[in-house]
Structures are given as C-alpha cells and as structure tokens.
Amino acid sequence: MKTIDDLLADGVSGKRVFVRADLNVPLDGTTITDDGRIRAVAPTIARLAEAGARVIVASHLGRPKGAPDPAFSLAPAAERLGDVLGRPVAFAADTVGDAAKSVTAALADGEVAVLENLRFNPGETSKDDAERGAFADELAALADVYVGDGFGAVHRKHASVFDLPARLPHAAGDLIATEVGVLKKLTEDVARPYAVVLGGAKVSDKLGVIDNLLGKADRILIGGGMAYTFLKAQGHEVGISLLQEDQVPVVQEYLKRAEAQGVEFVLPVDVLVAPEFPDLKTKAPANPTTVAADAIPADQEGLDIGPETRKLYAEKLADAATVFWNGPMGVFEHPDYAEGTRAVARALVDSPAFSVVGGGDSAAAVRTLGFDENAFGHISTGGGASLEYLEGKTLPGLAALED
C-alpha cells in the first residue's frame, strides 16, 4: 500500500489530488458539535497543499437519499476545515456538476476545495456496479491522483471508496495508515492482558466482534443497552430495558464458549434505573435509582452502570496492557447517566495500557465529557470500520488501496 510519503517523493506540485476524507461530523442545525474527524484528516490535506498539490476533498455526511438535501450539506464542514488548516477552502455546491468542475479547475498550486456531499448522488452508494462505476468515472475526471484517508468509510463498497482508486494512481493518507497500524496492534502480537470494553445500544452490532475476540481477548467487559440482553441470558429480570430477545440464545452460547476458552466476561453488578428514558434536550433531572443487576424492577429501565460496576470495571482495566473500547456504558448525553462512561474513560486515562477508543459514540463521549484526547493511545475516527476490522472482515476501501 503506497503512502503519502511515496506521493511526495514522486512530487505532487501542480497535480489535482482527490482526497476521500471523512467529514461526517455531527451537526446541530449548521453548528458542528464535534470536529474530531475534521482535525484528524487535516494533516494529510495540509501536507499535500504545502507540497503544491491542488487538493480536492470529498466526503459524505449523514444519510441523504441520493439527492441534494440542505440538512446534510458539507458547507459547515468546509468552513471548519479552513479554520483548522488556517487557509482558505473553496466550496463547490455540487459534487460532479458545473460548480465542481469550475471550482476544481480554478484551483492554483497549494489550494484546497471541498465538494458537496457525495451521497447527494445515487451512484455513490449504489449496489449496481455499473451505476457506481459511472459515478466514479465522473469523480476521476476531476483529478490526477487519489488519496484514501476517510477511515470511517473504508468498510463501505461505495464509488468514492472502492471504485475510484482503481481509476487513478492511489495511496493511503496518514490517517488511514495510522488507523491500520493501531488495529494491527489489536490483532497481531497483542500485549497482554488484553481487555475489551463493549457498550452501546444493540448487542447484534457487536456479535461479530465478540465472536472473533473470544479467541484473542483475555477479558470482555459489557455495558450500555446491550448489557441487558446479557443479563437476560443469565436469567435475570431486565424490566423495560433495551433488550434484543432474539439474541439471547446467541449470547448464552457466547458465555459458554468464553468459559470454555478461559475468556472472562464481566457484566454489570448494579445499574441505574428509571421508569422512563431521560429528556436529552432539556436534560431535566432524571432522579435514577441504583439497584442490583439481578434485581431490576419490572417497570424500570436500565440506563447506566452503577457505582459498584464502575469500581469493578476500573479494577479489571487497571492491569491491562492493551484495551479496546467501543460503545458508551449508558446514556452519557444526560448528566445523570454519564458516570459509567466517565468511569471507563478515567480508567483508561489512569491505566498504562495502550488504549484504543473505537470511534463513534465512544469518541464523542470522550470529548463531551472533557477528557484530553492525548491521554488515550488512539481515538479512532471509524467505529463501524474498526469493528469490522476486528471481526476479521476484508474492508473494501483498504483492499482498493493495495497495489
């Protein structure tokens, strides 16, 4: 896999370099609430621009239905990218139309432009190879070289991720090179003890990871909404908590396999419960009650791990040499249910382990709760991509960058 260093050695001055970035940032209207992904890709863009490349940045944002939708415009991300880079960034109001052609043609050496949302075009996400290929052809006409640096999208077989690299000389950006290097530390010659913390809403989202890590991890800590399916699998009442009843037999099988393979599953011993989900807009006091994990009332919903579980999880992480964390421990967006997630983040900060925060809500939680990103070994920009890599799957966007 070629890298930015290889491109710079060959020279990029005057060349149109298409950078497939991941600017899929959370928005409140037009206000960016977490610019982590923009800051993560900025060094690649800066290196290319400083070397005289004419940089064309493209990304998706959200899930528009293959047509323009102002709610998903990349204009705020383009503006923020300019702030981060400390240089002007032009913005094209379409992706491959007249605006894109005009803006990219006007670029001088060292200048940067951002195209409008790739997913405003049906060809980007089409399952039809010909339709996707046709869109990739239009993108390829804008550039001379391709740089893949949108790690958060490399698990998608999309035109700009999978088909476009085949049409241009290509290389991996610094962000992707870093992400892959980190993931190899989690899958090849891992420093032990190796602890994995999994949270989030649905256990079904993490089954592939659990299946693959049962032979690799030393202990797996479970929190978030998915914990209640595990508690149900142990025969406990979970009240009106989030539950995937159809996954209970699968979870029971995993618990048996873990015991047979010497992998320690660590589940909550107490939880915070309330009769209803909290209001995340007003963040009005929720007044939760702490109960034992095997004593959840039938009319209550579990919304965070309890204080004894926080202590237990901190103890289980204290001696780890490697930790991978994906998914919050509770509804961290509400202050009454943020302490479980805060406790895990604090345990990683205090631990000497090589700690990887696996993107998505976990990365957002770390920033929302005020932790210094540099206190962790790595904060990934791609939750889904990280999980699929750890499942052992081939990621289309990485395969496309191989020589």
What pLDDT, in 10s, does the model give residues 146-160?
999 999 999 999 999
Predicted pLDDT of residue 362: 87
- pLDDT (mean) for 280-295: 94
Which of 39, 101, 167, 202 is flagged as catalytic?
A: 202
Helix axes 360-368, 383-390, angle to 10 degrees: 130
Which of 15, 20, 37, 132 is flagged as catalytic?
A: 37
Residues paired with 215 in a beta bridge: none
Whether 37 sits among the annotated catalytic residues: the reply is yes
CB neighbours of 108 closer than 8 A, spacing ≥ 6? 54
What residue numbers does the annotated binding site for ATP cover? 206, 302, 333, 359-362
Whether 224 sits among the annotated catalytic residues: the reply is no
pLDDT above 80 (res 300) = yes
Distance CA 360, CA 222 (A): 17
pLDDT above 80 (res 216) = yes
Is 269 or 214 the better-scoring residue by pLDDT? 269
For residue range 70-127, what is the model confidence (pLDDT) as tens digits?
Answer: 999 999 999 999 999 999 999 999 999 999 999 999 999 999 999 999 999 999 999 9
- pLDDT (mean) for 252-262: 95
277 pLDDT tier (thresholds 50, 70, 90): very high
| Token output for 184 | 């190899």
- pLDDT (mean) for 273-280: 94
Whether 360 sits among the annotated catalytic residues: the reply is yes
Distance from the Cα of residue 103 to its chain's centroid: 30
pLDDT above 80 (res 360) = no
Distance CA 62, CA 25 (A): 8
- pLDDT (mean) for 24-53: 94
Domain 181-391 fold is Rossmann fold (3.40.50)
What residue numbers does the annotated binding site for (2R)-3-phosphoglycerate cover? 37, 119, 156
CB neighbours of 374 closer than 8 A, spacing ≥ 6? none
- pLDDT (mean) for 253-276: 96
Distance CA 106, CA 145 (A): 17
- Starting at the edge strand found earlier in the chain, the sheet holding 378-379 runs 264-266, 219-222, 194-198, 322-326, 354-357, 378-379
Distance CA 100, CA 107 (A): 11
Predicted pLDDT of residue 384: 87
List the CATH code of the domain at 4-173. Answer: 3.40.50.1260
Predicted TM-score (pTM) of this structure: 0.88
Predicted pLDDT of residue 361: 82
Which of 36, 148, 200, 384 is flagged as catalytic?
A: 384
- pLDDT (mean) for 243-260: 95
What residue numbers does the annotated binding site for substrate cover? 22-24, 37, 60-63, 119, 156
Residues paired with 397 in a beta bridge: none
Predicted pLDDT of residue 119: 98
Which of 224, 225, 360, 382 is flagged as catalytic?
A: 360
Pick from 120-134, 282-296, 377-391: least confident: 377-391
Whether 167 sits among the annotated catalytic residues: the reply is no
Which residue's entry shows tokens 């930015």? 4
Q: Considering the chain, what is the average pLDDT of its residues? A: 95
- pLDDT (mean) for 323-348: 96
Cis upstream peptide for 68 (omega within 30°)? no
265 pLDDT tier (thresholds 50, 70, 90): very high
Predicted pLDDT of residue 368: 87
What residue numbers does the annotated binding site cover? 22-24, 37, 60-63, 119, 156, 206, 302, 333, 359-362
Distance CA 330, CA 307 (A): 12
Q: Which part of the chain is CATH 3.40.50.1260?
A: 4-173, 181-391
Distance CA 317, CA 265 (A): 13
